[in-house]
């Protein structure tokens, strides 16, 4: 019996990774990573104004490069045995497209216009528009924010669209529709040329665009047009039907079949967000919070529909039937900065040192570059080791983790981080420990919100780069939560989840749960809480909550 393979494509914040996976057991045959060159060079972004944009060419070039490299690594004959491709992306990461579904940045007149590019999930330039949506929603008898936790975020679909329409008349004039990254890549691969035929995922539509069965789709056009006439008619760009990720978007078109060296019989699955497919790749279980820990975190939870359909969980990032596993309720939460917090601290310390190395008269440029790279590579692990050796004391430095605002619970991207208790003995290990502790406390606040609103968190599953590479952070997470956390063996759970969905969309498995059992790689580590640390972290957590409330009050009331 011949083998069959699928390809999972995972679009992250900095790079895209493709993997070829054996559908029988989930074994990885080949993988390839492509770092977005325009993003790497800092083009089209302005961190000071929270503007983060990505050019569609980064996505297209990465898609072609990684799949072709995977096929080359896999060897002769494998291309003919590939049955399907599925894609996950960051989100909400939407883009303005024309009637044909082409992102405007692919047109000559818009190729250097950031407003015509994909608006990355972490772009917070639309905080004003998100606030207006939240205020506007109170004017209607029906609360159209019910299924997104009651608070709309600047990280999401409609706030970003309204912001772009307001600030850029040229894009406004050319924009026919607004499309999520995870929906556009399958549209591209299937040769779509009419955006009205684009199949939108229930994952993106439900969690970010206010789509719900209870609304017969989106809220009525009046909801949008009365918010701002610029939104009039955009609702019609959404079909009434959305699709779960186990369904097919179509087949690989002739153009892309030729470009990739694959047969046109390859099935293209419906796309979804990275954390949602990552939860499947990480073998999520009912009532276990699956934490995809990278630059930010996305915390995913599934539960039987009959047990939670009547509940509305305040302050999370949505609850959508079928958004993770078809037939179950998918719930999302997360933190706007997790790995980004540690990367910020590393950069703050090492960037100036790197500049001095490069301008030093004592070493040449090549050696300076090598030393700078070594400094960056070793910084977090070595400073973490020093932090782990510090004694736990009540007066330790304390931080609040809102370096990129707060995603959940209760989204507020205007909030800023803080650190207190600094003194002349404070050094890099002490500050890093406080920052790590704050991200663990932010994670606990999410668990407390689920528990407090009747959805019990019965276990924790850790996935992603931070979970795999940082034992100190994971042990502290277990200690703060006073719950064990299992770490999934697969380093690339998002790509693995995409592969599982591809196998299901191709009909190799009848449901994605079967693909999870057959193709899942299991767990290779588990961190258990130290009971001796429970009282220390419980006390510190209360201080974290108090400090956070104080900071939020001052920043909200005084506009600080």
DSSP type of residue 141: S
What whole-number percentage of the chain has pLDDT above 90? 92
Alpha-carbon distance of 64 to 105, in angstroms, equals: 18
pLDDT-derived band of residue 491, with 50, 70 and 90 as boundaries? confident
User: 19 phi and psi, to 5 degrees?
Assistant: -135, 145
CA end-to-end span of the chain: 66
Residue 443 shares a structural domain with residue 516: no
Residue 447 shares a structural domain with residue 500: no
DSSP type of residue 363: S
Residue 240 shares a structural domain with residue 275: yes
Q: Give a yes or no: residue 355 inside a domain.
A: no
Alpha-carbon distance of 43 to 53, in angstroms, equals: 8
Alpha-carbon distance of 172 to 432, in angstroms, equals: 44
pLDDT at residue 518 greater than cutoff 70 = yes
What whole-number percentage of the chain has pLDDT above 70? 99
Structure tokens at 277: 């497919």
pLDDT at residue 560 greater than cutoff 60 = no
pLDDT at residue 1 greater than cutoff 60 = no
Residue 431 shares a structural domain with residue 505: no
The mean per-residue pLDDT over the stretch 212-231 comes to: 96
Alpha-carbon distance of 220 to 236, in angstroms, equals: 10
Stated pTM of the model: 0.91
Q: Give a yes or no: residue 323 inside a domain.
A: no
Pairing of strands 82-89, 118-119: unpaired
499-514 residue pLDDT tens: 999 999 999 999 999 9
Q: Give a yes or no: residue 356 inside a domain.
A: no
34-46 residue pLDDT tens: 999 999 999 999 9
pLDDT-derived band of residue 455, with 50, 70 and 90 as boundaries? very high
Give residue 159's pLDDT.
98
70-85 residue pLDDT tens: 999 999 999 999 999 9
CATH for 402: 3.30.420.40
Q: Give a yes or no: residue 349 inside a domain.
A: no
Element holding 89 (H helix, E strand): strand 82-89
Domain that residue 408 falls in: 385-489+530-558
Q: Give a yes or no: residue 338 inside a domain.
A: no
Element holding 418 (H helix, E strand): strand 418-420
Residue 420 shares a structural domain with residue 495: no
pLDDT at residue 200 greater than cutoff 90 = yes
Give residue 294's pLDDT.
87
Q: Give a yes or no: residue 461 inside a domain.
A: yes
Residue 214 shares a structural domain with residue 117: yes
Alpha-carbon distance of 436 to 477, in angstroms, equals: 9
Q: Give a yes or no: residue 74 inside a domain.
A: yes
pLDDT at residue 558 greater than cutoff 70 = no
Residue 64 shares a structural domain with residue 126: yes
333-351 residue pLDDT tens: 999 999 999 999 999 999 9
Residue 27 shares a structural domain with residue 162: yes
Domain count, the chain: 2
Residue 393 shares a structural domain with residue 510: no
Paired strand residues for 35? 15
Residue 52 shares a structural domain with residue 28: yes
Residue 158 shares a structural domain with residue 213: yes
Q: Give a yes or no: residue 316 inside a domain.
A: no
Residue 150 shares a structural domain with residue 200: yes
């Amino acid at each position: 019996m011949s083998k069959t393979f699928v390809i999972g494509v995972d679009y992250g914040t900095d790079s895209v990774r493709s993997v070829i996976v054996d559908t029988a057991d989930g074994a990885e045959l080949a993988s390839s990573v492509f770092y977005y060159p325009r993003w790497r060079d800092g083009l089209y972004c302005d961190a000071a104004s929270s503007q983060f944009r990505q050019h569609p060419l980064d996505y297209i070039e990465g898609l072609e490069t990684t799949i072709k490299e995977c096929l080359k690594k896999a060897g002769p004959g494998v291309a003919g045995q590939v049955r399907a491709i599925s894609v996950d992306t960051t989100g909400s990461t939407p883009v303005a497209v024309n009637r044909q579904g082409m992102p405007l940045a692919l047109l000559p007149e818009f190729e250097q216009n950031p407003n015509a590019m994909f608006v990355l999930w972490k772009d917070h330039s639309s905080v004003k528009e998100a606030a207006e949506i939240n205020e506007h929603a109170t004017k209607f008898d029906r609360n159209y924010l019910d299924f997104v936790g009651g608070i709309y975020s600047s990280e999401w679909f409609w706030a970003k669209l309204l912001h772009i329409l307001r600030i850029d008349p040229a894009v406004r004039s050319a924009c026919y529709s607004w499309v999520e990254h995870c929906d556009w890549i399958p549209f591209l691969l299937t040769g779509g040329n009419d955006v009205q035929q684009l199949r939108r995922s229930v994952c993106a539509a439900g969690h970010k665009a206010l789509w719900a069965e209870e609304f017969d789709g989106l809220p009525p056009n009046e909801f949008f047009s009365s918010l701002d006439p610029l939104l009039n008619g955009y609702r019609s760009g959404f079909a009434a039907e959305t699709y779960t990720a186990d369904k097919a978007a179509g087949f690989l078109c002739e153009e892309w079949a030729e470009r990739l060296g694959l047969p046109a019989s390859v099935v293209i699955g419906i796309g979804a967000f990275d954390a949602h497919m990552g939860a499947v790749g990480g073998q999520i279980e009912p009532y276990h919070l699956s934490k995809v820990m990278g630059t930010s975190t996305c915390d995913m939870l599934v539960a039987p529909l009959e047990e939670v359909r009547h509940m509305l969980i305040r302050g999370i990032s949505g609850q959508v039937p079928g958004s993770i596993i078809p037939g179950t309720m998918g719930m999302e939460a997360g933190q706007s900065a997790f790995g980004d917090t540690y990367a910020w601290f590393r950069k703050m310390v090492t960037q100036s040192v790197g500049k001095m190395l490069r301008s030093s008269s004592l070493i040449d440029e090549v050696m300076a570059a090598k030393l700078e790279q070594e400094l960056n590579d070793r910084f977090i692990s070595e400073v973490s080791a020093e932090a782990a050796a510090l004694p736990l004391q009540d007066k330790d430095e304390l931080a609040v983790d809102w370096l990129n605002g707060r995603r959940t619970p209760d989204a507020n991207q205007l909030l800023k981080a803080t650190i207190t208790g600094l003194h002349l003995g404070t050094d890099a290990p002490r500050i890093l420990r406080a920052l790590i502790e704050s991200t663990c406390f932010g994670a606990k606040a999410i668990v407390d919100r689920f528990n407090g609103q009747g959805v019990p968190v019965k276990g924790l599953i850790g996935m992603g780069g931070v979970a795999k590479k940082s034992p100190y952070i994971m042990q502290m997470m277990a200690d703060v939560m006073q719950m064990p956390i299992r770490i999934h063996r697969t380093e690339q759970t998002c790509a693995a989840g995409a592969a599982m969905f591809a196998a299901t969309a191709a009909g190799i498995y009848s449901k994605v749960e079967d693909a999870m059992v057959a193709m899942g790689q299991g767990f290779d580590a588990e961190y258990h809480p130290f009971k001796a640390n429970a009282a220390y972290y419980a006390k510190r957590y209360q201080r974290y909550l108090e400090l956070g409330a104080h900071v939020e009050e001052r920043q909200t009331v005084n506009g600080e």
